[in-house]
């Protein structure tokens, strides 16, 4: 059954910065075909949960869609009194995004029960019908605001991606929930807070606690306060999140500095399990939590729920569709290149878009730039969010004596578990522990060195929980040992800050960049690759798909005897122009599939045809092919021959 509402009378807000993302009229055929392959091929049925896109109609209106075998949903985005609102205008079968409870599967017991309580936690596979997708409409829509966004984004089943026992990146609540703790001055102490929270709420909450002024910045809709007709009402230049008022307690004073501890990939359910079932474990995290407020249901992450986008969402208070690092790797249409900030590791601050402000930049705006001694000294320690930080190891900006750093690194090397060397294969895995130990040395040095002020903002990534959960699985003893080792490092940080006399005046934020789900490694699943693997022209950077399509223009002369056909690359260059496609083959046939003409486009992408006098132009069919592009099949009036997904998927 299909239920729909007309969108023509609704004020629909499409992508904020259109640049080829989503599906337009020229991509109706290829987009529908790709979605069909992703859902109905043998691998697609086994691997794919749903496929989402933003779609522009021929009249220019936009809508957002999610397609699954069990059903589809289409919604529009509108301006509301506080940010965007979302209205479902069509559904067929079961709305795949209907369940959005952020509280679901919050404990290890609930997660294992949803997986059928397997005897082996390595087989804790949760099917889509047991999952929820918190803030699904918002998190999908925001992705398509960036011109770096794909045409299609594939959400795999929670257990169906890759060859590692643990994985993340999907929209579901298991992969999208991060623990979140605020501890120190200005916040409630010893509290478990039942508040809705998103990753983008962290930056504005930090700003409020540090006494930032409200500014005429942009809210979630990309409009400044003045453009919305209100007084300054945000703390960041682009603020998608809100202040988590529920964790605040002004009676506890105000912090003088902030230390964000990001335990990369740490499962919220696992952290709760250790806190509740193992009273002697992770004493340093316990100390912080006892002195602060822990969110009962954690915080819901960016989508995709993956490292580089999520770290920068925390560090800017803006979703990835607004800070532009939409994935660890993504395609730039205007330059025809694939970039990989995560693969590059170093010098990736340049990928963050100009429309957002990092916390480092905001601290400098409020407290002044560091000039070597005075001003706001900020530090990014092994953090993928780096722009504006004075000390930034991933930008090769290190403050402090190199010899002392080496000495501090050696002091704690004995605390690295031999497990990582003995059980894991490959040099990259054996660096587990060493990377975080070097980061710990940076942190200690930055607070021990009195030749400069202590950092007013430190954003510190602990990578080992993520590495171990990938290699062992999120509920394996190896992942739990990684959390234990991380807790030891947190203890060193706390003692160092305490030694400097700064512990009581420091606000600590403990969180992660994403969750982690158990994978069925026997599947070796990679659903996003299905269209390209099956012969479609696409650039795939899992879970994103960028289709390579043709823009075709048809001009029939007034007498109906000739027509001019222009074939362009549907992706515009940096100039905004779509380049011509030379040597494209165009076959013209009548309604009986009789051949009328065959022509080849010239260097300008143009070809002309003669129309027999006994044929109506509107009845002619065009088939266009060009190397490196998906084929087009259309009528001369511009309408497409495309799969009707509603018919083929849901009219049974």
Average pLDDT (614-643) is 93
**pLDDT band at 593; cut points 50, 70, 90:** low
Under a CB-based contact definition with an 8 Å cutoff, are residues 56 and 22 in contact? yes
**pLDDT band at 615; cut points 50, 70, 90:** confident
- Please say if the pLDDT value at position 155 is more than 80: yes
Q: Residue 325: name the closest of 145, 455, 502 by CA.
A: 145
Work out whether the CA dihedral 347, 350, 356, 361 comes out positive or negative: positive
**pLDDT band at 591; cut points 50, 70, 90:** confident
Under a CB-based contact definition with an 8 Å cutoff, are residues 154 and 246 in contact? no
Ranking 157-171, 274-288, 359-373, 583-597 by mean pLDDT, the lowest is 583-597
- Please say if the pLDDT value at position 622 is more than 90: yes
- Please say if the pLDDT value at position 1 is more than 70: no
- Please say if the pLDDT value at position 259 is more than 80: yes
Average pLDDT (107-132) is 97
- Please say if the pLDDT value at position 114 is more than 80: yes
Non-local CB neighbours of 271 within 8 Å, separated by 6+ positions: 179, 285, 483
Between CA 580 and CA 583 the distance in angstroms is 10
Question: What CATH class has 550-629?
Answer: mainly beta
- Please say if the pLDDT value at position 451 is more than 90: no
10 Å CB burial of residue 254 (0-12, 13-18, 19+) is: middle
Under a CB-based contact definition with an 8 Å cutoff, are residues 63 and 55 in contact? yes
Q: Do domains 177-518 and 550-629 have the same CATH topology?
A: no
Other C-beta atoms lying within 10 Å of the C-beta of residue 272: 18
- Please say if the pLDDT value at position 333 is more than 70: yes
**pLDDT band at 84; cut points 50, 70, 90:** very high
- Please say if the pLDDT value at position 642 is more than 60: yes
Between CA 505 and CA 478 the distance in angstroms is 35
Looking at residue 426, its pLDDT comes to 59
Q: What are phi and psi of 384, to 5 degrees?
A: -65, -15
What is the share, in percent, of the chain residues with pLDDT greater than 70? Answer: 97
Q: What are phi and psi of 530, to 5 degrees?
A: -60, -50
SS3 339: strand
pLDDT digits (tens, 9 = 90+) for 423-437: 876 555 567 789 999
Indicate the angle between helix axes 202-209 and 359-367, nearest 10 degrees.
20
**pLDDT band at 613; cut points 50, 70, 90:** confident
Average pLDDT (297-306) is 98
Looking at residue 90, its pLDDT comes to 97
Between CA 299 and CA 198 the distance in angstroms is 5
pLDDT digits (tens, 9 = 90+) for 3-62: 666 555 467 899 999 999 999 999 999 999 999 999 999 999 999 999 999 999 999 999
Q: What are phi and psi of 573, to 5 degrees?
A: -85, 180
Between CA 355 and CA 240 the distance in angstroms is 12
Looking at residue 612, its pLDDT comes to 87
**pLDDT band at 639; cut points 50, 70, 90:** very high
Looking at residue 617, its pLDDT comes to 84
pTM equals: 0.96
Q: Where are the domains of the chain?
A: 2-174+520-547, 177-518, 550-629
CATH code assigned to 177-518 = 3.40.720.10
User: Mean pLDDT, the chain, as a whole number?
Assistant: 95
Average pLDDT (209-228) is 97
Q: How many helices (H) and strands (E) does the chain have?
A: 20, 29
> Which position has the higher pLDDT, 6 or 65?
65
Q: Residue 47: name the closest of 535, 473, 526 by CA.
A: 526
pLDDT digits (tens, 9 = 90+) for 362-386: 999 999 999 987 899 999 999 999 9
Can you give the three-state secondary structure of 226-254, one letter per residue?
HHHCCCCCECCCECCCCCCHHHECHHHCC
What is the 8-class DSSP label of residue 489? H
- Please say if the pLDDT value at position 269 is more than 70: yes
Average pLDDT (583-604) is 91
Average pLDDT (504-527) is 97
Looking at residue 431, its pLDDT comes to 78
**pLDDT band at 448; cut points 50, 70, 90:** very high
292, two tokens: 């602060």
Looking at residue 443, its pLDDT comes to 98
Looking at residue 63, its pLDDT comes to 97
What is the share, in percent, of the chain residues with pLDDT greater than 90? Answer: 91
**pLDDT band at 150; cut points 50, 70, 90:** very high
Residue 143 CA from chain centroid, whole number:
7
DSSP string, 580-628: B-TT-EEEEE-TT--EEEEEE--TTSEEEEE--TTS-GGG-EEEEE-TT
Looking at residue 21, its pLDDT comes to 98
152-156 and 166-167 strand pairing: unpaired
Between CA 611 and CA 561 the distance in angstroms is 5
């Amino acid at each position: 059954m299909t239920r729909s509402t007309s969108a023509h009378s609704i004020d629909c807000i499409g992508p904020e910065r259109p640049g080829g993302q989503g599906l337009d009229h020229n991509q109706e055929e290829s987009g529908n075909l790709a979605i069909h392959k992703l859902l109905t091929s043998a691998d697609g049925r086994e691997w794919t949960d749903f496929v989402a896109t933003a779609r522009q109609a021929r009249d220019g209106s936009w809508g957002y869609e999610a397609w699954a075998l069990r059903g589809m949903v289409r919604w529009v985005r509108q301006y509301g009194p506080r940010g965007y609102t979302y209205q479902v205008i069509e559904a067929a079968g079961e709305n795949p995004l209907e369940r959005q409870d952020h509280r679901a599967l919050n404990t290890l017991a609930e997660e294992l029960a949803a997986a059928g309580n397997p005897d082996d936690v390595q087989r804790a596979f949760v099917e889509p019908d047991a999952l929820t997708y918190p803030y699904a409409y918002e998190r999908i829509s925001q992705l398509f605001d960036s011109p770096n966004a794909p045409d299609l984004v594939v959400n795999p089943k929670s257990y169906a991606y890759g060859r590692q026992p643990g994985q993340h990146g999907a929209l579901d609540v298991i992969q999208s929930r991060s623990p979140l703790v605020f501890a120190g001055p200005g916040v409630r102490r010893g509290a478990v807070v039942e508040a809705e929270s998103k990753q983008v709420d962290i930056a504005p909450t930090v700003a409020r606690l540090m006494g930032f002024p409200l500014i005429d910045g942009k809210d979630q809709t990309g409009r400044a306060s003045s453009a919305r007709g209100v007084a300054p009402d945000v703390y960041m230049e682009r603020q998608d999140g809100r202040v988590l008022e529920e964790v605040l307690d002004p009676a506890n004073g105000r912090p003088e500095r902030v230390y964000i501890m990001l335990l990369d990939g740490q499962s919220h359910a696992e952290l709760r399990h250790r806190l509740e079932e193992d009273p002697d474990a992770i004493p340093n995290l316990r100390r912080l939590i006892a002195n602060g407020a822990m969110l009962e249901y954690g915080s819901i992450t960016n989508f995709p729920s993956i490292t580089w986008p999520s770290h920068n969402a925390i560090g800017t208070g803006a979703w990835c569709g607004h800070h532009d690092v939409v994935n660890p790797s993504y395609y730039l249409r205007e330059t025809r290149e694939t970039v990989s900030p995560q693969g590059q590791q170093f010098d990736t601050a340049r990928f963050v878009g100009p429309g957002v402000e990092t916390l480092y930049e905001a601290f400098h705006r409020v407290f002044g730039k560091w000039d070597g001694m005075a001003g706001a000294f900020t530090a990014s320690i092994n953090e993928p969010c780096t722009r504006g930080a004075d000390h930034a190891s991933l930008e090769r900006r290190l403050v402090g004596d190199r010899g002392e750093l080496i000495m501090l690194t050696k002091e704690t090397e004995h605390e690295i578990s031999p497990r990582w060397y003995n059980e894991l294969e490959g040099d990259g895995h054996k660096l587990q522990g060493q990377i975080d130990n070097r980061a710990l040395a940076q942190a200690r040095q930055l607070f021990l060195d009195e030749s400069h002020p202590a950092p007013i903002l430190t954003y510190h990534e602990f990578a080992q929980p993520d590495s171990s959960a990938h290699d062992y699985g999120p509920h394996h003893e190896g992942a739990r040992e990684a959390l234990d080792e991380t807790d030891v490092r947190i203890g060193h940080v706390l003692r160092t800050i305490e030694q400097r006399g700064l512990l009581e005046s420091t606000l600590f934020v403990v969180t992660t960049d994403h969750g982690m789900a158990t994978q069925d490694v026997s599947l070796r699943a990679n659903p996003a690759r299905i269209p390209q693997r099956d012969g479609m022209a696409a650039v795939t950077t899992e879970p994103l798909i960028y289709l390579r399509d043709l823009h075709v223009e048809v001009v029939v002369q007034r007498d109906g005897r000739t027509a001019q056909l222009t074939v362009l690359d549907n992706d515009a260059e940096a100039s905004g122009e779509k380049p011509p496609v030379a040597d494209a083959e165009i076959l013209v046939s009548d309604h009986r599939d009789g051949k009328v003409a065959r022509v080849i486009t010239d260097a300008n992408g143009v070809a002309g045809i003669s129309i027999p006098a006994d044929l109506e132009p509107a009845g002619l069919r065009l088939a266009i092919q060009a190397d490196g592009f998906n084929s087009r099949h259309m009528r001369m009036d511009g309408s497409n021959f495309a799969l009707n997904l509603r018919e083929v998927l849901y009219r049974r």
